[in-house]
Structure 1
Amino acid sequence: MRLNLPKFNVAEPLRAQITGAPLEDARHLTHRYDKLRQEVEAQVAEVLRRRLKSRGSVSAESSVKLQNAEARLTELKSTTVALGREATAAMLSVEEHQQQMTFHKLCTMVDAERSYHQHALAILDKLHSEMILEKLPKEFSSQSEKMDPDTNSNRSDDHGQLYQDDTFFIARAIHPFDAQADGELNLAIDDYVVVRQVGPNGWSEGECNGKAGWFPSAYIERQEKAPSAKLM
């Protein structure tokens, strides 16, 4: 269906405009204008012929015919000018309308394409997250269980702030994370985590709220210090 968007949103509306009444009216006016121009050219030739003929004859009949031919030429010229302006205005109006409609339809098509790709990207992002969860090595969980609990202790200064030591660092959760498997750690936004190790596959291991586990490294932001109460 997406492959037919240009057809339904651009080609079909343009085809309808081509066979629509405004364009047909403009074409009719242009056709009439072309016919009048041909009549003007024929009448110019007639006037020239009458003038040449009147030079060799001074009859009243020749003079009247020349005057009638010149009057007819003047009338045709006036009608041609008026019709030419009308036909030009009609064609310009149709052209402007077609440009506006084409732009509108193209915008509609672009919006539809953007919506499609954004939806596809959301699906791919979700799938990517699920694949990362599935790729979490089992040994990370066992490593977390074997770690010395005493390594989780950190120093506090007189101001109640907890600073990172030479091995660990403090991080703040910037995205919530719901643990899906054993060995993973739940995180809420603004939780503070003592990060104990960062894995090469985009996962980190640490402790928060008395629990330890693994979580996506991209879900946290390193901090220089944090309130000690946040980590207890």
Structure 2
Amino acid sequence: MPISPDQSLAPYIDHTVLRPDTTQALVAQLCQEAAEHHFAAVCVPPCFVKQAVAALQDTGVQVATVVGFPLGYQLAKVKFFEAHQALAEGATEIDVVMNIAAFKSGRHEEVMSELQELSTLCHFKNSILKVIIETALLSPSEMVQVCKLCIEAEVDYVKTSTGFAASGAQVEDILLLRATLPAHIKIKASGGIKTKEAALALVKAGADRIGTSSGVSLL
């Protein structure tokens, strides 16, 4: 649903810090800002999940972390362990990078099997699974194929980007994903979203979440 003039972007935002030089102090600031502005979630490195969970207790802000990040070609059992550990430490949302290398090699059943295992785990733990497909590395027809795998695996979100590829969220990609996915599978736009205008355009195109490290300035 597009945002009306009297609505805020805040409920759409996954306030994010995933830099390799992320510190405890940065995570503390991120959580404070997320609670203050009532963002949907924070997305933090796995080693800071416990800190974020403690900081955001009783705020309504969800804690997301990444799995198989940022390249996605870890073995499925490694990703499963990562996700299991993050959920055990209190994360409620898992953003996993799809195995793009396997997909590009035509090993689609392997990709779907991995996503199904992670989906089952997350749903057993009453948590959300977002699948990062790295749209910058996919053609439109490949995006449609990936969406079909995500539908069959019963994931909760398809997410555009890690922020580590050549480009991030694009309006045309969101439009294609929204046209391909059923309504119950949501879309997270991420990667390079620095302005309010860009965020609003992505929401208008069909994004349900905005992953950004610029959450406060977007408001």
TM-score normalised by structure 2 residue count: 0.20
More helix, by proportion:
1
TM-score normalised by structure 1 residue count: 0.19
